[in-house]
Amino acid sequence: MPTRSPLPRLCGLAGLVTLALCSGALAAPKKVTGYGSLGITNGKPGGTYTLALGDSPQSLFYYGVIDNNLGLISQQLFDGLVEFNYATYKVEPALAESWTISPDGRTYTFRLRQGVKWSDGQAFDADDVVFTYSQIIMNPEARAGDAASFKLDGKQVEVRKVNANTVRFVLPRPSPAFLLQMRSFIMPKHKLLRYSQEGGAKPADINTAWPSNVREADVVGTGPFRLSNYTAGQKVTLTRNPNYWKVDARGTKLPYLAGLEFLIIRDPQAQVAQFLAGNIDQLNISGAQFPDLKQREVAGAPFKVFRSTALFGSPPFVAYNFDAKNAALARVFSDVRFRRAMQSALNRERIIDTVYNGLASAPGHGIAPVNREWYANTTRQLGSFNLAAAGQALDALGLRDTNRDGIRNLPGGGNLEFDLTYGTDSSVYPAIATILQSDFARIGVKVNLRGILSSRLLSTGQSGDWEMILHAFGDQPDPELRKPIWQPGGALYYWHRSLQPAQDGGRPNLTRMASWEREIYNIFEDAAVTTSASRRKALYTRWQLLFAQNLPVTPIAKPENIGAVSNKFGNYIYNLGVIPGYNPVPLIYQK
Amino acid sequence: MLTYALRRILGMVPTLLLISVVCFVVIRLQPGSFIDQYLEDPRVTRETVELVTRQLGLDQPAYVQYLTWIKGIVTEGDFGYSFVNGRPVSSLIWERLGWTVFLAVLTLLVSWAIAIPLGIYTALNRYGPGATILNFFGYVSLATPDFLVALLLIALVLNFGGTNVGGLFSPQFIDAPWSLAKFLDLLNHLWIPMIAIGLEGVAGLMRQMRASMLDVINQDYVRTARAKGLAANRVLWRHAVRNAVNPLISLAGLSLPSLISGTIIASIVLNLPTIGPFLYDSLLNKDQYVAMTLLLFSALLLLVGNLLADLALAWADPRIRFE
């Protein structure tokens, strides 16, 4: 019989503590409890919950394709060693029941939860974990693997089986965010061995495992559900995994639901129509759709619309190309006074009101304001919308309208005129771009809109062929996870491309960095090897202030997340989408 | 006739080759590549991008990619791999072909069955109130895009509290075995795509039939037939309609490729499991072998459609000879 234990919460704090805090009990299912603040109650078993899927899954093997739709399904089929607490986003035990971290921060030893079974009845053990990490995740040919995160300073992280229930990772250097990498889904060795190098296949063959026409019974996981049927282009049906390892506060086996279905519906309007018709039970919607659905809710429709200031989600920003092809523009864009002046011409309130229907708030700088563990209050540096001040600042920079054509001139005489690259197939980018264009025009800065597909934004940014860009990167709980984005010279730090190292993994061009960029660079280097939590907090606080003052990019707003759920179901917790280690669906029950 | 058909079929080969080259060039001219979508994910390093590029053969020169693909088709009947799905293109198309053909054939039959009589009626009663009303509706439905009709129908159904908004089945029937209930559920869903997709076809065909009928009923031989005292019905069906229907047979041949690309937007809006959205996705993702196979298939259907139409014309009209 499972007994209530304080283990989950203790272990949640264990991230940086180097003692063995948790000692496992035998065959202990995880008790999911303590979410009263989120409105979670004891549910009852049964019922089928239907969700929408934006397109057919491209494969059923999570590490074979980068595909959001597959991610949504995989999240219900597999688990990681650790997971997030639904309320605090702290790391908790999942398939690992407990872990220890050596005092030098380089050895992580995980004790696996005993008695866990794969959905086909086979026992889950250390071999599966070692197999998943060494043969799949660390395989650079796996298209959706994560080999880069397991190579620190060019050296491979080692993963070893200690005994059937213990796995050890040895790192070349300390990595305080390493525990978060342990959220990766563990795959069944007994089903996937023959696609791996260990099983005699070529490294790239792993991508061919479990194609979308795989026999359903071959897709085996430890997750709350198992694959029961896939009808191409129409529907994915999952049924309850009777072997799941979580129970609720009363000891009732989770998940409550007997089945989970995904209807494949491409068009967002069609998804809303299916939701209104009652064929879909839950849907994440945009700020633009909120008023219509909320009105229907108030008028008595059988669903509720929830707003959530969740940690995840992508706050949009604008960036100016420090290395723009036009040298005069590049010089202006590199000047922090210009970027600050343009921030005063950025009407955040109007964007929040008209583009997001008020369902957004002031952004943080690299950290979501709701992330209490790391967020430093930078709201003062956001300034306020003031066109007169923006104009004066541009005047002071010598960017005046010398030829009286209504557009300011660059020092060389050319117009202060540039392209704004944005994604056309988005519900927010086009509207934000138009607002920026009209406000900037009022202070004599001419912006030409250049629309591209949103999926091309990053590659365009990285190609350097742009002047100003409107883009977004997702927020994560730990800043370490966003290092390639925000560390100058990082692979995704594309607004100052000339800092990037000549070779992948090499040292960035430090001499070209502004002093604040060099400081941010050093902060990320230090924080990546510091094990002291307070020291990391101090470093990342300094980074956020430098970010806010120097504006490598100018954040615009932090959108709220909005979900609508049918009244037939209880225990709904907002879920952005694919966040490994954050899956509240097992708690949902049919009333 | 057999030699004629064979000659036509052989003539298709160079045409198809030329079309495949054009398709390939056009796809390659699009900015970006399949790998772009991988860049957005922080897990993907430059090393992975290079490895995936090599896995997919995208590191080779374009002409090598093209020749490898063509060689696969000719020697092994292998249409290549889908980058996105990691599966052979042919099996992916096969999966979606059933419903696509079903919907296309059904729409064709329904629209012909409605359009031909209406065309004849509006031609014969040119100035009557009935024809005027029908013509008016014809114009309106010609001018309304099919996806808009689909959206309006969905809104209408929702307002009346219906749940059959999009798709071909209610969720619980999608993977259920066939039964009477499933068949009725299909009928309950089918009428929306039939109207949305078929309406434009009905209007177009009706106008075509009317124009062609008007041409014919003023011909001398029709007047002569009437003057000789032939029964009105006999004149109409045996002489007028039989001659008027010729242009429509050609038209039917040309409509075969719409099986693939005809109803992309309506299929997305109505959530139909057909090939159209699959083609659209493959073009967006630069899944080049899927896109090329589908475009080639579409070209083949056009050529085959033309051939069938010509053969049908010869059968329907003894005046036409194979030269």
Q: Is A539 on the interface with B (CB under 8 A)?
A: no
Name the region of A39 (left: φ>0; alpha: ψ -120 to 50; beta: rest): left
Which of A48, A50, A56 is best to mutate for the B interface (most B CBs within 10 A)?
A56
Of A237, A267, A279, the CB nearest to B269: A267
Identify which of A287, A314, A95 has the alpha carbon closest to the alpha carbon of residue A188. A95
Instruction: Determine the residue type at A259.
Output: G
Q: On the CB side of A235, how many CA atoms lie within 13 Å of its CA?
A: 21
Helix (H) or strand (E) run with residue B236 in it: none
Contact A212 B174 (CB under 8 A): no
Instruction: Determine the residue type at A193.
Output: L
Same domain, A252 and A392: no
Residue A397 lies in a domain: yes
The ipTM assigned to this model is 0.83
Same domain, A410 and A470: yes
pLDDT attached to residue A575: 78
Residue bearing tokens 């529907």 = A235
A281 is written with which tokens? 């039970």
8 Å CB contact between B92 and B285: no
Interface contacts (A, B; CB < 8 Å): 148
% helix, strand, coil for chain B, step of 5? 75, 0, 25
8 Å CB contact between B89 and B79: yes
- Dihedrals φ, ψ of B265, to 5°? -70, -45
Name the region of B31 (left: φ>0; alpha: ψ -120 to 50; beta: rest): beta
Range of the domain at A253: 223-310+560-590
Question: What is d(CA B33, CA A241) in angstroms, rounded to the nearest whole number?
Answer: 39
For residue B235, the distance in angstroms to the closest alpha carbon of chain A comes to 50
Contact B51 A141 (CB under 8 A): yes
Contact B175 A273 (CB under 8 A): no
Same domain, A298 and A349: no
Question: What is d(CA A493, CA B94) in angstroms, rounded to the nearest whole number?
Answer: 43
Instruction: Determine the residue type at A355.
Output: V
How many domains is chain A built from? 3
Q: What percent of chain B has pLDDT over 70?
A: 97
Question: What is d(CA A444, CA A399) in angstroms, rounded to the nearest whole number?
Answer: 10
Same domain, A320 and A465: yes
| pTM score, whole prediction | 0.84
Question: What is d(CA B212, CA B245) in angstroms, rounded to the nearest whole number?
Answer: 7
Residue A213 lies in a domain: no
238-267 of A, contacting B, C-beta below 8 A: 261, 263-267
Contact A270 B31 (CB under 8 A): no
Same domain, A127 and A106: yes
Same domain, A301 and A345: no
Residue bearing tokens 């607004």 = A495
A516 is written with which tokens? 């604040």
Which of A159, A180, A208 is a domain's end point? A208
Chain A residues with CB under 8 Å of B163 CB are 277-279
Chain A residues with CB under 8 Å of B166 CB are 265, 270, 273-274
Ordered per-residue pLDDT tens for chain A, 591 residues: 333 343 444 344 443 333 334 434 445 789 988 888 888 999 999 999 999 998 889 899 999 888 889 999 999 999 999 999 988 888 999 999 999 999 988 999 999 999 999 999 999 999 999 999 999 999 988 888 888 889 888 889 999 999 999 999 999 988 888 998 899 999 999 999 999 999 998 988 999 999 988 999 999 999 999 999 998 888 999 999 999 999 998 989 999 999 999 999 988 888 999 999 999 999 998 887 888 899 999 999 999 998 887 678 889 999 999 999 999 999 999 999 999 999 999 999 999 999 998 899 999 999 999 888 899 999 999 999 999 999 999 999 999 998 889 899 998 888 999 999 999 988 899 999 999 999 999 999 999 999 988 878 888 888 888 999 999 998 888 888 888 899 998 888 999 989 988 776 678 888 889 999 999 999 999 998 888 889 999 999 999 999 999 999 999 999 988 999 999 999 998 877 778 889 999 999 999
8 Å CB contact between A227 and A238: yes
Identify which of A336, A435, A344 has the alpha carbon closest to the alpha carbon of residue A390. A344
Q: Is A302 on the interface with B (CB under 8 A)?
A: no
Domain-by-domain residue ranges, chain B? 2-76, 95-316
Identify which of A21, A20, A17 has the alpha carbon closest to the alpha carbon of residue A5. A21
pLDDT attached to residue A13: 41
Same domain, A272 and A163: no
Enumerate the H helices of A260-326 as residue ranges: 268-276, 290-298
Of A208, A277, A485, the CB nearest to B162: A277
Same domain, A541 and A567: no
Residue A65 lies in a domain: no
Residue A42 lies in a domain: no
Chain A residues with CB under 8 Å of B271 CB are 264-267, 270, 274
Chain B residues with CB under 8 Å of A504 CB are 45-47
Q: Which long-range contacts (CB under 8 A, 24 or more apart) does A362-366 make?
A: A362/A557, A362/A558, A363/A315, A363/A317, A363/A555, A363/A556, A363/A557, A363/A558, A364/A315, A364/A475, A364/A544, A364/A555, A364/A558, A365/A544, A365/A547, A365/A548, A365/A555, A366/A479, A366/A482, A366/A486, A366/A543, A366/A544, A366/A547
Identify which of A254, A274, A278 has the alpha carbon closest to the alpha carbon of residue A266. A274
Q: Is A489 on the interface with B (CB under 8 A)?
A: no
Residue A55 lies in a domain: no
CATH of B95-316, one of 3.30.70.1350, 3.40.190.10, 1.20.1250.20, 1.10.3720.10: 1.10.3720.10
Collapsing DSSP to helix, strand or coil, A591 comes out as coil
Contact A234 B95 (CB under 8 A): no
8 Å CB contact between B251 and B202: no
Question: What is d(CA B226, CA B219) in angstroms, rounded to the nearest whole number?
Answer: 11
Contact A140 B158 (CB under 8 A): no
Chain B residues with CB under 8 Å of A274 CB are 165-167, 271
Residue A72 lies in a domain: no
Q: Is A204 on the interface with B (CB under 8 A)?
A: yes
Identify which of B141, B112, B134 has the alpha carbon closest to the alpha carbon of residue B245. B112
Same domain, A181 and A231: no
8 Å CB contact between A272 and A282: no
Identify which of B270, B115, B117 has the alpha carbon closest to the alpha carbon of residue B191. B270
Same domain, A447 and A575: no
What's the mean pLDDT in B142-155?
88
State the DSSP code for B239: I
The β-bridge partners of A30 are A246
DSSP string, A527-570: HHH---HHHHHHHHHHHHHHHHHH-SEEE--EEPEEEEEETTEE
What's the mean pLDDT in B65-72?
89
Q: Is B270 on the interface with A (CB under 8 A)?
A: yes
8 Å CB contact between A466 and A323: no
Question: What is d(CA B252, CA B276) in angstroms, rounded to the nearest whole number?
Answer: 19
Question: What is d(CA A227, CA B107) in angstroms, rounded to the nearest whole number?
Answer: 35
Question: What is d(CA A356, CA A363) in angstroms, rounded to the nearest whole number?
Answer: 13
Q: Which residue has the higher pLDDT, A554 or B320?
A: A554
Q: Looking at residue A540, which CATH number applies to its domain? A: 3.10.105.10
Q: Is B156 on the interface with A (CB under 8 A)?
A: no
8 Å CB contact between A282 and A566: yes
Instruction: Determine the residue type at A133.
Output: Y
Chain A residues with CB under 8 Å of B277 CB are 266
pLDDT attached to residue A22: 42
Same domain, A251 and A350: no
Of A263, A270, A456, the CB nearest to B32: A456
Contact B46 A146 (CB under 8 A): no
Q: Looking at residue A154, which CATH number applies to its domain? A: 3.90.76.10
Q: On the CB side of B273, how many CA atoms lie within 13 Å of its CA?
A: 22
Of B47, B84, B270, the CB nearest to A140: B47
Same domain, A261 and A338: no
